[in-house]
């Protein structure tokens, strides 16, 4: 690594740290209903949204009504997006005359974009019309991101509430998130990306002659508007099959830098927002520190793997599968950022990473997308681990565990265990069953442990709503489309429902003032214990699977074998 590489990494994290409290404080004001920078310019849009939707903004919901509204909203989104893909051939804004998407791919895509996974088993530029991209996929990019953020806000109200039932109004949280946070940030980033050369048009694809005299189609489309929310909403679905490795999505090193920053910006700032909403900034700092430590550990392992000499090719820092205009460090930083934030966007092929770097990306996903995680879901996913950590600490010292002044009881722990185990079960069942099915094995691009990594990564990505692919796997088959879609739905809602139940249960409890024996959750000791619990749970759950995939591939590579 060169000095310029280290300077870029340092600058990246300096900007992230500087922007986190600024944006986090702004979002806290938005969710509290206080006056803020965009109250006057966009207040009319918020009120109009309530009027059109028939929403009473003063009405508050208990956790069951809030969750039911959320589920109905997402079910409707799946149905609409599914139907839109089936009839796109008869709709406008389709200059290439693309026909209907197959039912299994349409189902997979509908589940994928509604759950904020944005897994794409198809080639977007030859499958989706402009209308399907904008009205279907981009719309869900906003809605799925806003849903995750709304759950985080409801959880913070539950933690802060004292013997209450109300957790706020789902529709109000959804509208405020979209109007005051996602739309303005996406507009700014889209304009910037357009200035760097990201295309935004409705033209038919261009036909050009190659140097060999052949004919090639150059895809066009409204890309910048999708690219912005794809990064900011930790969605990840690309307009092109090459995703952010495509020069029309990510043309310059500067666009690449700000796309990477966009990946982490909202997930990082939402931790600060959570701290403000529950009234404990130091607790937010402890959570953020735990996330950063885990991120730094995996980034370090990935960089070590990429810059260690490959004994097969006798080279370090190999460029195979990476873009020349970004280089190795930018590819590794992007890979770690996108897998840590449940985004799924890529600017390099993860299958081409060294076994250790590929494993680092996989670990980011397998811990449950809590290393910053997706917008909203990373924070509430981390709170799940916090409750487990507090419970274990209480057992060790023989005291009733408390979190933010609320007693942790058996029901809370049961809900926490469900939220952690169900996505893990979906990963291992999905990968375990498909790796013995001939039809699934026929979709592999590689043999041996690398092939197993393709399947393990696919189900880890789906079940934890990441959406990135290891590459090499042809997932656009009925078996994989349906099984991965089911994994996505389990991974999303098997966490949201327990988290909302925890929020409702916590809101109804009495507040207990901290005492001398209270285990503080805003210290460095707590952050260290939290990191330890996350690593222990992850190792117990997935170490055997990692041994069969990237770990054994690493040692075989050292012995001179590749796959």
SS (H, E, C) 9-36: HHHHHHHHHHHHHHHHHHHHHHHHCCCC
- What span, in angstroms and rounded, lies between the C-alpha atoms of 88 and 96? 11
pLDDT at residue 341 greater than cutoff 80: yes
pTM: 0.95
Domain membership flag for residue 525: no
Q: Which two tokens stand for residue 479?
A: 């078996």
pLDDT at residue 390 greater than cutoff 80: yes
Domain membership flag for residue 201: yes
Instruction: Please report, for residues 56, 293, 455, 507, 513, the alpha-carbon distance to residue 382 in angstroms, rounded to integers and kept in the order given.
Output: 32, 14, 26, 19, 23
- State the Cα torsion 268-273-276-280 to the nearest 10°: -30
- Percent of the chain as helix, strand, coil, to the nearest 5: 65, 5, 30
Q: What is the pLDDT of residue 170?
A: 97
357: phi > 0 → left, psi -120 to 50 → alpha, else beta; which?
A: alpha
Model confidence at 530, pLDDT cuts 50, 70, 90, reads very high
Instruction: Give the count of domains, the chain.
Output: 1
Q: What is the mean pLDDT of the chain?
A: 94
Alpha helices in 238-280 (DSSP H): 253-278
- What span, in angstroms and rounded, lies between the C-alpha atoms of 245 and 468? 13
- What span, in angstroms and rounded, lies between the C-alpha atoms of 419 and 388? 11
Which tens digits make up the pLDDT trace of 538-557?
888 999 999 999 999 999 99
Domain boundaries, position 158: 20-251
Which tens digits make up the pLDDT trace of 431-450?
999 999 998 999 998 888 99
- What span, in angstroms and rounded, lies between the C-alpha atoms of 376 and 185? 16
State phi, psi for 539 to the nearest 5 degrees.
Answer: -65, -45
Rounded to an integer, the average pLDDT of 486-494 is 97
- What span, in angstroms and rounded, lies between the C-alpha atoms of 202 and 137? 16
Answer whether 368's CB lies under 8 Å from 460's CB: no
Domain membership flag for residue 561: no
Report residue 324 CA to chain centroid gap. Answer: 26
Q: What is the pLDDT of residue 396?
A: 82
Instruction: Read off the DSSP letter of residue 542.
Output: H
The partner residues of 329 in beta bridges, in order of sequence, read none
Among candidate residues 98, 104, 187, the one with its CA nearest the CA of residue 475: 104
Q: DSSP 3-state assignment of 92?
A: coil
Instruction: Please report, for residues 214, 298, 310, 392, 563, the alpha-carbon distance to residue 558 in angstroms, rounded to integers and kept in the order given.
Output: 43, 21, 8, 40, 12
State phi, psi for 167 to the nearest 5 degrees.
Answer: -120, 15
Q: Which two tokens stand for residue 517?
A: 């024996």
Domain membership flag for residue 465: no
Which tens digits make up the pLDDT trace of 101-110?
999 999 999 9
Residue identified by tokens 């009495």 is 510
Q: How much of the chain exceeds pLDDT 70, in percent?
A: 100
Question: Helices H, strands E: what count in the chain?
Answer: 20, 4
Q: What is the pLDDT of residue 481?
A: 96
Model confidence at 345, pLDDT cuts 50, 70, 90, reads very high
Residue 313 neighbours by CB distance under 10 Å? 11
Domain membership flag for residue 523: no
Tally of residues, the chain? 563
Among candidate residues 496, 491, 447, the one with its CA nearest the CA of residue 147: 496
Among candidate residues 357, 358, 360, 365, the one with its CA nearest the CA of residue 339: 365
State phi, psi for 521 to the nearest 5 degrees.
Answer: -105, 20
Q: What is the pLDDT of residue 432?
A: 92
Which tens digits make up the pLDDT trace of 292-331?
999 999 999 999 999 998 888 888 888 888 988 899 999 9
Model confidence at 4, pLDDT cuts 50, 70, 90, reads confident
Burial 453-480 (b: 16+ CB within 10 A, else e): bbbbbbbbbbbbbbbbbbbbbebbbebb
Domain membership flag for residue 208: yes
The partner residues of 123 in beta bridges, in order of sequence, read none
Domain membership flag for residue 550: no
Q: How much of the chain exceeds pLDDT 90, in percent?
A: 84
Answer whether 178's CB lies under 8 Å from 146's CB: yes
Q: Which two tokens stand for residue 526?
A: 């707590």
Q: DSSP 3-state assignment of 216?
A: strand
Domain membership flag for residue 228: yes
Please state whether beta strands 402-403 and 406-407 pair in parallel, antiparallel, or not at all (unpaired). antiparallel
From first CA to last CA, the distance across the chain in angstroms is 26
């Amino acid at each position: 690594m060169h000095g310029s590489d280290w300077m870029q990494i340092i600058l990246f994290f300096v900007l992230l740290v500087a922007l986190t409290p600024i944006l986090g404080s702004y979002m806290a004001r938005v969710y509290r209903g206080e006056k803020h920078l965009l109250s006057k310019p966009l207040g009319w849009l918020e009120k109009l949204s309530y009027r059109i939707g028939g929403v009473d903004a003063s009405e508050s919901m208990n956790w069951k009504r809030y969750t039911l509204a959320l589920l109905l909203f997402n079910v409707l989104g799946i149905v609409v997006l599914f139907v839109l893909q089936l009839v796109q051939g008869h709709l406008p804004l389709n200059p290439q005359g693309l026909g209907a998407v197959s039912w299994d791919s349409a189902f997979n895509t509908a589940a994928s974009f509604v759950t904020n996974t944005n897994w794409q088993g198809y080639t977007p530029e030859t499958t989706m019309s402009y209308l399907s991209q904008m009205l279907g996929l981009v719309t869900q990019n906003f809605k799925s991101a806003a849903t995750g953020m709304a759950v985080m806000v409801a959880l913070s109200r539950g933690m802060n509430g004292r013997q209450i039932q109300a957790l706020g109004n789902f529709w109000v949280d959804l509208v405020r998130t979209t109007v005051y946070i996602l739309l303005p940030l996406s507009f700014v980033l889209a304009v910037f990306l357009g200035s760097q050369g990201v295309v935004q048009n409705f033209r038919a694809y261009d036909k050009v002659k190659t140097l060999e005299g052949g004919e090639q189609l150059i895809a066009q489309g409204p890309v910048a508007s999708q690219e912005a929310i794809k990064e900011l909403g930790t969605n990840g679905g690309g307009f092109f099959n090459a995703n952010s490795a495509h020069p029309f999505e990510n043309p310059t090193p500067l666009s690449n830098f700000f796309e990477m920053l966009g990946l982490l910006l909202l997930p990082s700032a939402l931790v600060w927002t959570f701290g403000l909403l529950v009234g404990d900034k130091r607790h937010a700092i402890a959570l953020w520190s735990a996330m950063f430590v885990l991120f730094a550990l995996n980034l370090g392992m990935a960089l070590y793997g990429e810059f260690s000499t490959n004994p097969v090719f006798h080279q370090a820092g190999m460029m195979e599968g990476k873009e020349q205009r970004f280089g190795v460090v930018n590819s590794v930083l992007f890979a770690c950022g996108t897998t840590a934030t449940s985004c799924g966007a890529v600017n390099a092929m993860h299958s081409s990473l060294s076994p250790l770097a590929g494993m680092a990306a996989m670990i980011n996903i397998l811990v449950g997308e809590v290393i910053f995680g997706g917008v909203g879901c990373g924070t509430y996913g981390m709170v799940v681990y916090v409750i487990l950590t507090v419970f274990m600490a209480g057992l060790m010292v023989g005291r009733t565990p408390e979190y933010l002044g609320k007693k942790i009881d058996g029901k809370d722990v049961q809900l926490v265990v469900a939220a952690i185990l169900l996505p893990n079960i979906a990963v291992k069942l999905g990968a375990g069953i498909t790796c013995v099915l001939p039809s699934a094995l026929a979709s592999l691009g590689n043999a041996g442990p690398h092939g197993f990594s393709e399947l393990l990564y696919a189900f880890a990505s789906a079940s934890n709503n990441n959406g990135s692919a290891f590459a090499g796997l042809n997932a656009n088959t009925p078996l994989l489309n349906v099984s991965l879609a089911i994994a996505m739905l389990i991974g999303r809602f098997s966490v949201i429902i327990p988290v909302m139940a925890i929020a409702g249960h916590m809101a109804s409890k009495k507040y207990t003032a901290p005492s001398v024996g209270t285990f503080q959750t805003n210290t460095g000791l707590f952050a260290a214990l939290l990191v330890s619990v996350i690593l222990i749970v992850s190792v117990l759950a997935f170490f055997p699977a990692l041994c069969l995939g990237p770990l054994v591939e690493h040692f075989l590579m050292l012995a001179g074998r590749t796959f």
